Every structure is written in C-alpha cells, then in structure tokens.
A = this chain, B = another copy of it.
Amino acid sequence: MRLPRPAWLRDYRRDCLPGDVSAGLIVAVMLIPQSLAYAMLAGLPPQVGLYASIAPLLAYALFGSSMTLSVGPVAVASLMTASALSPLATPGSQEYIALAMQLALLSGLMLVLFGCLRLGMLAHFLSHPVTSGFISGSAVIITLGQLKPLLGLQFAAANTPALLAGLVSHADAINPLAANLGLATIALLVFSRALLPKLLVGWGLRADRAGLIARLMPMLTVIFSTLLVARFDWHLTQGIAVVGAVPAGLPSLWAVTPDLPTLAALWLPALLIGVVGFVESVSVGQSLATQRKQRIDPDRELFGLGAANIASAACGGYAVAGGFSRSVVNFSAGAHTPLSGVISAVLMALVLIFASSWFAHLPHCVLAATIMVAVLSLFDLATLRKTLRYDRGDAIALLGTFFGVVLVGVETGIVSGVILSFAVLVWRSAHPHMAIVGRVPGSEHFRNVERYSVETLPHVLAIRVDENLFFGNATAVERALQSRLAAQPLAQHLLLIMSAVNRIDSTALEMLLSLEQRLAEQGIQLSMAEIKGPVMERLLPTALGKRLEGRIWLSAHEAFLSLAARAA
C-alpha cells in the first residue's frame, strides 16, 4: 500500500519548521499527563492512553484537513468509552481493553463510511444547544466521577445518584493524604490557569510565553508529585493509588474483529462517539482555521478522524478525537501544518520506549485533579444563558440533554437531546404564524392587518401562512383557516399568500384538496398567490393544482385586483 502524500507535505515551506517543531514539543508535554489521565477516566490501563497518542496523530496528519487540530485522547470520548463498556466487562481487564479497541475501530469505520457517502451533514443533527448541554453534562459527571480517585476511594457506581450515595457511604474510607494531594493540585492548577499568566505578564514576561508556562504546569505537577510519592514510598506506606508498571516499548499491531453480539452492543456508542467527536473536532478546527482565513472540509475531516480511530484500534489504543485545549495550544505555539502532530507522536513514542517506568509512582489523585481542572472549561453556562434569553425551545433541548446526561447517562442524554430538539422543531411548526393581510395604500405591498393600517376587501379573506405545510401542522392550519373564515361571514374568496411556504408535503396537500372541496360546497373559492417556483412545479400536476386553475396568481397584488373586480 502506498501512503498518500498530503498537500501540506508536498508543498512544505521551510519557514514553518521552527513553529511546527516547538508546537509539537509543547503538545507532547501536555499530552503525557492528559493521555494517562484520560485512559484512567476511560477505565483503561495507562499505556492505552499513550498508544492512543501515537498512531492516531500520524493517521490524522495523512488524512485530516485541519492544519492545527490536535487529535488524541479527549475527556468526552473517554467518558463515553467508560459508559459504553463498563456494563460489558470489568474496567482494566483484557476483555475491556479489547472492547475499547473494537469500539474505536467501529467508530472509525463509521466515520470513514460517512466520509465515502459525503455525510458530513449528519453532524448537523446535533444542534448547538444539544451539543452544549451534552458537553456541560459530561463535564459534570466527569468531575463527580473523578472525586473517587481524588479522595482515594474505590467502588462501582452505575449512575450519578449511585455515585453520590457511594461517596457519602464511603466517606470514612477517604485517604486523607490522597485528598490533600489532589486538592492541592487543583488549587495549584486553578491558580496557574486563572492568575499565573497575569502575574507573569505583570513581571514583564511576554503574554504568549506566560500562557505557555501556565500550560506546562500540569506536567510539572505530575513530575513533582511522582517524585514525592517515589521518595517517601507513599504508595506503600500511605496507600496512595499509583499508575504502576507501564509496559515499555511500542504497541504491537492488533487485528480486532468484533463478533455479532459485540457489534449489537457497540454500534450505538460507536456512532455517538464518532459523531460527537466529529462535531467537536470540526468546530474546534474550523474556529482555528478561520483565524488564519483557512477552511476545513467536513467530508475530508470524516476520513481524517476515521483513520485516526482505526489507527488507534490497530495499535492498542482507544477512541480519539480533536481536543479543544491541546489544539488551541498547538495553534498558539506556532503550528502551521500537521508536522507538529507528527513530532508529538514521535516524542510520545520515545517516551513510551525509554521513559515508561517513570510513571510507575504517578499518583491517581493528581491525575484526577488534572482532569477536573481540564474539564472545568468545558462547562458552558454562557450558551445556556444566551439560549434561555433567545429561544425557550432551544433552552429546553439544552437542559433536557444536560439533565439526561447527568441523571441517566451519556448515551441516553444525547439521544434524548436529539429527539427533544426535533420535537421542539415540530412543536414550533405545528402552530404556525398566520397573518390576515391587506394592501398598504398606494403600493403593491401586503402586510399584516394587525401591524399596519392597510386596505382589505370584505368579500376576500387574504391570509399569509408563515410556515411550510406538512403533516405536523396540516390540521392546525385547516382549523385556523376555518375559524378565520367563520369570523368574516361575507368572504367569498379565501386567498392564501404562499410566499413563506417552501414545501407542501403530501399530508398537507390532501388537507388543502379537501379544504378546497369543502369551501366550494359553501360557495367560497380558494385562491393562491406568490407560490414559490419549486412548490408550484410540484403542485400543478396534482388534483389540487388542476382544481385551482385560473385561481393562482403570481403576486398578491394581481390577485387582489382581480378578486376586487370579481365582486363588482
């Protein structure tokens, strides 16, 4: 097989090299603690996180379309992996690891398939409110879930209420040293995110360097706490849980082939991990690309992320996606091409070959603290506030997703969020805005009689329907038209102004046909004006189109003149 030679590699400009190399280095330094921590979050041994930080980066560099997206283990995909697999196998077991690889493989294959079908638009089924509610909900359960390793506790909990109950009932088993170490780490990391950069800038440092130092703090904390634990043998004397032996050397290639029952259990989580990862990656990648006036191609992005997941599965890793914070660091550290990802991958491989024993004494409570601080920024209150103000229905979808995730689980949460957003959509269209309109005096314009002072004719009821006509509102529209006709007993013509109707489905078409017939029996003629081209083309050959012949006008104005003349 010949590897593709992506455009960025073919036309590589020398002057990008320094930026790419330094960004690759910095991202690798971030990636080491993150990959260990997210593997823990996913219920996997630490080396799986490291494996997922090598091959996927190379695969994405070959197939992806973003120049600066940093692919690898991320919080949400790790959480979703844990949620999908913990009912199926014991976290950390060989079976669990094999399932995690199969999940990544399935997810990758689905993304590639969607790419082949050019289904990048599938992602649009996730609205912003649902995505926001999902991410915030995930941040909450990740934070709550990390309380266990943070406090040195170990117990199983299937959902948030069980977890909270478990924390209370296990309170006497809290390891005070672990808790102190963890809380100190949180305090330090929050300080270095929120205050350290300003402080350093105050001391005369350049803003970008100050930011960079702050970003390195998690790595420094990890090194320092590891040394501390190792020095005092706290894992033996104080019962501090540590990462333990990490097998040295590169992962071997695996051939993972899920059987049918596994497929049945994993297809939905695989789909959700794939789609959520895709949506997040595209939105991060796009917002970075925009700053450099580049664009990313969603369909190629499907291939890139799909290839990254397949590579992860083949090399002993688990589901990956584009990470938000790492991508931002990569971008601002000067990465201009995916070479920076290649350099990170090489560094991670070197770490795995030469330095894996260094992690043996890394304490779980510190990893938990780094995760908790990292996901803090995922909690998105701003969108909730904005959405509540702008659109009540969207806010319901957001909150429904959030509470679904927190109270029931990630999969239920996102699926019910999607269903909710569609239900809101239909609910809205089910009660369309319909305005009785009249002519603005001396013009050819027609406006709502309630908002403007306009001319009307007593024997013509002109109504503008402000919605596509479909099965969800056909009956409601019919009833609304009937009741407005009842309020204007002199009406001999019902003129529907169709400028805002972009589609009539077959349920609505049948409704209009039976309405026309019923009105004709009552001596009222149905007419239409301003039908859109595409609607007209489909309407004309139908039974309704034929009955309406001679009663369809190009503009409301023409209809008005013609109907006015008929009365006289």
Contact = CB atoms under 8 A, between A and B. Distances in A.
Contact of A390 (B130, B390, B514, B538): B538
A429 B121 CA distance: 12
A191 interface: no
Interface stretch (A25-33, A235-243, A314-322, A502-510): A502-510
A474 B432 CA distance: 21
A426 B430 contact: no
Interface residues of A, number: 61
A58 B500 CA distance: 47
Chain A at the B interface: mostly helix, strand, loop or mixed? helix
Contacts of A93: none
Q: What is the oligomeric copy number?
A: 2
A470 B125 CA distance: 10
A506 B448 contact: no
A422 B129 CA distance: 19
Given A128-B507, A471-B421, A509-B390, A121 B476 contact: yes
A534 interface: yes
Contacts of A429: 468
A502 B432 contact: yes
A124 B475 contact: yes
A459 to B, nearest CB: 22
A394 interface: yes
A501 to B, nearest CB: 8
A118 interface: no
B475 A428 contact: no
Nearest to A445: B555
A502 B532 contact: no
Interface string A121-164: 10011111110000000000000000000000000000000000
Nearest to A471: B127
A124 B502 contact: no
A542 to B, nearest CB: 6
Interface string A508-547: 0110001000100000000000001110001001100000
Contacts of A432: 502
A538 to B, nearest CB: 6
Contacts of A476: 121, 124
A292 interface: no
Interface string A7-50: 00000000000000000000000000000000000000000000
A252 interface: no
A380 B184 CA distance: 71
A382 to B, nearest CB: 11
A470 B444 CA distance: 31
A133 B341 CA distance: 52
Contacts of A445: 444, 555
A259 interface: no
A476 B119 CA distance: 12
A505 B127 contact: yes
A451 interface: yes
A394 B444 contact: no
Contacts of A533: 435, 448, 451
Contacts of A507: 127-129, 394
A471 B124 contact: yes
Nearest to A470: B425
A509 B393 CA distance: 14
A472 interface: yes
A533 B499 CA distance: 15
Interface in A391-426: 391, 393-394, 421-422, 425-426
Interface in A306-336: none
Contacts of A280: none
Interface string A151-187: 0000000000000000000000000000000000000
A117 to B, nearest CB: 13
16 contacts: A124-B474, A124-B475, A124-B476, A127-B506, A390-B538, A390-B542, A391-B509, A393-B505, A394-B505, A394-B506, A421-B471, A444-B444, A451-B533, A466-B532, A467-B468, A499-B499
5 interchain residue pairs of minimum CB distance: A127-B471, A128-B507, A394-B506, A466-B502, A127-B507
